[in-house]
Amino acid sequence: MTDATESTPALEVRGLGHSFGATRALDGVGLTLAPGEFKVLLGLNGAGKTTLFSLITRLYDAGEGEIRVHGRRLADDPTRALKRMGVVFQQPTLDLDLTVRQNLAYHAALHGMARADAAARMEAELTRLGMAERRHQRVRDLNGGHRRRVEIARALLHGPRLLLLDEPTVGLDAPTRADIVDHVHALAADDGIAVLWATHLMDEARQTDGVLVLHQGRKRAEGRLGEVLAAAGATTLAAAFSRLTQEPGA
């Protein structure tokens, strides 16, 4: 297979389905994410966002449908694909008893990074996130916003071209939430990183973002924010989301 080009989608999902027993969590979901694109995956709790992330990151096997990362089928070479992803899960995954630097060093070792390269990347990412002075603090002593910044730094440490974030600002105060949203938008715009940002918070989407509305495991709309608003006949994302997720007869 040839290498991906600049026009190759960073992520393609086709006909993805998944069930937990009799419960249908995802039903025929598809999406396309271009390099440098910031796409908001919008849905209420239980919409299937976390299940989708779990399938893309191979926490679950995808029995239905196909996932491609930079043009390659995920199932054909999952190790290669996962090395090109950075992930921030909804539930915190840092070791609370290790320092910031120790958490990052452990992640770098898992990716086989040389010690000098890892140290340089740690310094660069922590500095960019305003966390360099906290490198020797234990994670347990950090507040929620600082922990999230460390998780984002860790996700970027190995230089991924695809960044997946599942409800990354949940529980954070408004200023911290805005700072993180700004920072990740800049990663997409300035560094060309493809970003899939799952949230239920409407104000985290910007006019230039792609939007995918997921409801009860099904895709209800996908496009630029303005296109989604037009398709729903709405002037705000909250109104569009309400219309797109309204049940028949409601």
pLDDT tens figures, 46-61: 899 999 999 999 999 8
The answer to whether residues 96 and 184 belong to one domain is no
The answer to whether residues 18 and 115 belong to one domain is no
250 assigned to some structural domain = no
Q: pTM higher than 0.75 for the full model? A: yes
Give residue 171's pLDDT: 87
Residues of the domain holding 124: 92-159
Give residue 5's pLDDT: 59
The answer to whether residues 71 and 177 belong to one domain is yes
Mapped to the 3 state alphabet, what secondary structure does the chain carry? CCCCCCCCCCEEEEEEEEEECCEEEEEEEEEEECCCCEEEEECCCCCCHHHHHHHHCCCCCCCEEEEEECCEECCCCHHHHHHCEEEECCCCCCCCCCEHHHHHHHHHHHCCCCHHHHHHHHHHHHHHCCCHHHCCCEHHHCCHHHHHHHHHHHHHCCCCCEEEEECCCCCCCHHHHHHHHHHHHHHHHHHCCEEEEEECCHHHCCCCCEEEEEECCEEEEEEEHHHHHHHHCCCCHHHHHHHHCCCCCC
Total of domains in the chain: 2
Give residue 248's pLDDT: 53
The answer to whether residues 59 and 112 belong to one domain is no
The CATH number covering residue 28 comes to: 3.40.50.300
Give residue 185's pLDDT: 96
The pLDDT profile of the chain, 250 residues, written as one tens digit per residue, is 445 556 899 999 999 999 999 999 999 999 999 999 999 999 998 899 999 999 999 999 888 999 999 999 999 999 989 889 999 998 889 999 999 999 999 999 999 999 999 999 999 999 999 999 999 999 999 999 999 999 999 999 999 999 999 999 988 999 999 999 999 999 999 999 999 999 999 999 999 999 999 999 999 999 999 999 998 999 999 999 999 998 654 4
The answer to whether residues 77 and 165 belong to one domain is yes
